[in-house]
Amino acid sequence: MDFSHETFLAFSKSWGLFYMMAFFLCVCAYAFWPRNRKRFDRAKHSILERDDRPWQK
């Protein structure tokens, strides 16, 4: 196996792009997944609830 500058360069220029694209698609899928809508809605409203104590049983 050849560990030259050019080898790493070629690897990062090709796979670097692909993993970024794949990651982008995963993030979009997570953000727009219909089942996540409810938990996101709850999260964004829950910080406005006026309760200043930790949750207790």
Which residues are near another protein by CB under 8 A? 9, 13, 20, 23-24, 27-28, 30-32, 39-48, 50-56
The least distance separating another protein from the CB of residue 21, rounded to whole angstroms, comes to 11
Q: Which is nearer to another protein, 2 or 52 (CB)?
A: 52
Q: What is the CA radius of gyration of the chain?
A: 21
The least distance separating another protein from the CB of residue 20, rounded to whole angstroms, comes to 7
The rounded distance, in Å, linking the Cα atoms of 9 and 20 is: 16
DSSP state of 36: G
